[in-house]
Structure 1
Amino acid sequence: MATIVLKPDTNTYQKILSYYQGFAEKKQVPHAQLFAKKGTTAVTIYNSGKVMFQGPAAEKEAQQWDSSPQASNASGTATAAKKKSAAAKPGLPAGFSQLSVIGSDEVGNGSYFGPLVVCAAYAPKEKLAELKALGVRDSKELTDLQIKQIASQLEGLIDYQLLVVTPEKYNAVQPKYNAVHMKVVLHNQAISLLLAKIAPTKPDAILIDQFTPEGNYRKYLAAEKNQVSEKIYFITKGEQYHLAVAAASILCRASFLNELAEESAEVGLQLPSGAGAKSDQVASRILKKGGLELLGKYAKLHFANTQKAQNSLK
């Protein structure tokens, strides 16, 4: 069954919505304004501004509305550019973007305040068109508000496993585990738990947004009891090669933002993301308020920001 997803301009979107009102079905589709059936073609009009056409005549039906080159055949092949990119990337099978994949990513590793969050998300091939229609893509291209909105929509759509390491927990284990080792442990655990959650279903592949060379990852993995080592691929900017990584990235970021907001409310200060000068200033205020013990509840103490904040108080 062919699937076509369009992202029309606002004017065309309204025309599509008006046109298919006459073909509307009673079926309720999450996050959609309208579900319609015209002949053998199902049309889903999403709140995100995207429109999905499904059925043997989907391409023909979509063509009358497509005035841009942005449409993609989500059940067959991606756009020519994306297909070429995936096929040309060393180590990834041809057509990788259309497989059922577990993707994993992390957020918070470079932020002084807030937790380290790792997420593994399973995007089966039959859900890829819907994920695209919801606006799932690289979280760096989305605003914080968009990330939170899409994350809430993903919760009932796909299976995923979040692991949140609070600053307090991070500081407790950091002397034993360096940053890379810690992330290897967390990615492996998240993927392992997700595999158990979706069993007996098995993904076609597992894609980790690469943060260290594969050999280094497997070196640290060797020390783990429950090792997930088969069908794993490592690619930087993994969200460009499969929506599973993009979904994991969005879920990670949303969780990080929520945790940071809760910690800010608890300490009574706005905790910034990142590790810049603003973080130094906030750290100094927390040190004045409750010393290193209080700071350790909200910050990753091995960062250079801690020493800078201490020096500023001398």
Structure 2
Amino acid sequence: MSSYSLKNQSKTQLNTIKEHYQAFLQPKVPAHALFVAKAPGVTVTAYHSGTVLFQGNNAETEGNRWDNSSTSSSTPSNSTAKKTSSNLPTGFSQWNVVGSDEVGNGSYLGPVVVCASYVTKEQMPLLKELGVKDSKMLKDSEIIKIAADLKHVIQYQELVVTPQKYNEIQPNYNVNRMKVALHNQAIYLLLKKIAPEQPQGILIDQFTPEGNYRKYLSMEKNQVKDDLYFTTKGEQYHLAVAAASIICRASFLNELKKASQELGFNVPSGAGKPSDLAAAKILKRGGIELLSKYAKLHFANTDKAKKLLK
């Protein structure tokens, strides 16, 4: 599906566009949007900020109808791009990119969630309108809401490793090898989803040196090796990583909420004292077998929880 966006449209122009698509206006309007119209071959979403997004087979035709700007920007090719201090090519933030991130690896309770998302240059205005940014700057309630919207807008692949599954594979996988396997698999499956379209780059929120990543990658069956980029705080360099992080975090929070409902008390994130206390309650109720369904047993919290019961 192609897309086209206009920026800095005046209120008068927005009203003119709205009037043109009057017969196709939809009753449900996303947050921050002024109106949504679904006409043959195109969906038009206008925002209070002055951005108008056209999506569908006729997106470019309809967008050009209203585009009076004299300037346009193009995405730099991989071959001519220059490296920046972040080791990413100049203009990378405007590329069509697959980004991946994970949540839950450092939390004793709850799953590990990995997500890869594909964000094109044309989708960026919409993602910004939805509030996509570094998930650390968002409240949990905002993350859950934005993630729900994102899943209707972008292509993504999410993998959720439950504590029970984690405990099964952990003896044979150290933390980094497990994360490499999950990131690679999420990216591989997403690339299959978006084929024949191909991203200009794949950005992984870096958790281990590139050489180490590629060492563990060589052990995987479906290896994605080309056009890989690595940087810490990847969500600051491309919206694809920010979007992946938000989707991950929302799923992680939902899993904790589900666990809390099942157990009848709050299941916290992290690996501090509250996690020890929650684990002790679980142990008292159903022993290590029940705890294995909610916790990553190799964490030191397991022994701490056992001591609390003595």
Sort the TM-score into its range (normalised by shorter chain). 0.7 to 0.9
Alignment of 1:86-125 (within 5 A): 88-125=84-121
Post-superposition CA distance 1:258-306 (Å, at most 9, x none) = 1111111112221001111111111111111111111110011111111
C-alpha change, 1:111 and 1:51, in structure 2 (3 Å) is farther
Partner residue, 1:52: 51
The CA distance in 1 between the partners of 2:158 and 2:186, in whole Å, is 7
CA RMSD of aligned residues (A): 2.7
State which of 295, 300, 307 in structure 2 corresponds to 1:299. 295
Structure 2 residue aligned with 1:273: 269
**1:211-226 alignment, distance < 5 Å:** 211-226=207-222
Q: 1:282 to 1:19 in 2, by over 3 A?
A: same
How many Å apart are 1:156 and its aligned residue?
Answer: 1.4
Counterpart residue identity of residue 183, structure 1: K
Q: Say whether residues 1:166 and 2:169 are aligned partners.
A: no
Give 1:241 deviation, angstroms: 0.7
| 1:158-186 Cα distance to aligned partner (Å, 9 max, x none) | 10000000000001111110111100000
Aligned partners of 2:124 and 2:239 also within 8 Å: yes
- Tell whether the 8 Å contact from 1:147 to 1:250 is kept in structure 2 after alignment: yes
Kindly indicate whether the alpha-carbon contact (under 8 Å) linking 1:87 and 1:95 is maintained by their aligned counterparts in 2. no
Matches for 1:172-211 after TM superposition, within 5 Å: 172-211=168-207
TM-score, normalised by the number of residues in structure 2: 0.81
Instruction: Tell me the secondary structure at the aligned position of residue 230 of structure 1.
Output: coil
Alpha-carbon offset, residue 77 of structure 1:
8.7
Change (3 A) 1:262 1:43: closer
Question: Alignment identity in percent?
Answer: 56
Cα distance in 2 for partners of 1:296, 1:51 equals: 51
| Counterpart position of 1:70 | none
- Deviation string 1:98-138 (CA, Å, 9 cap, x unpaired) is 10000000000111111000000000111111111111111
Tell me whether 1:33 sits opposite 2:29 in the alignment. Answer: no
Measured after TM superposition, the shift of residue 57 of structure 1 is: 4.0
2:5–2:51 CA contact under 8 A, matched in 1: no
Quote the Cα distance in structure 1 between the aligned partners of 2:6 and 2:200: 20
TM-score normalised over the length of structure 1: 0.80
Q: Deviations over 1:136-163 (max 9, x none)?
A: 1111111111111111111111100000
Counterpart mapping for 1:5-84 below 5 A? 20-21=14-15, 24=18, 25-26=21-22, 27-28=24-25, 31=30, 32-34=33-35, 44-45=46-47, 50-52=49-51, 56-57=67-68, 76=73
1:57 and 1:125 map into 2 onto residues whose CA distance is 20
Contact 1:2 1:76 in 2 (8 A): no
Deviation at 1:43, TM superposition (A): 8.1
Q: 1:34 to 1:226 in 2, by over 3 A?
A: same
- Tell me if the contact between 1:43 and 1:51 (Cα under 8 Å) persists in the aligned partners: no
**Bigger mean CA offset, 272-281 vs 259-268:** 259-268
Alignment of 1:230-241 (within 5 A): 230-241=226-237
User: How many residues of Structure 1 are paired with residues of Structure 2 in the alignment?
Assistant: 276
- 1:27-77, Cα deviation, whole Å (9 max, x unpaired): 5586222269xxxxx98225xxx4415764469xxxxxxxxxxxxx9x749
Which residue among 125, 135, 155 is the counterpart of 1:129? Answer: 125
Q: Is the 8 A contact 1:112 1:305 kept in 2?
A: yes
**1:146 maps onto 2:142 in alignment:** yes
The unaligned stretches of length 5 or more in structure 1 are 7-15, 37-41, 60-72, 79-85
Shift of 1:5: 6.3
Residue in 1 aligned with 2:259?
263
Task: Label 1:20 to 1:174 Cα distance change in 2 as closer, same or farther (>3 A).
Answer: same
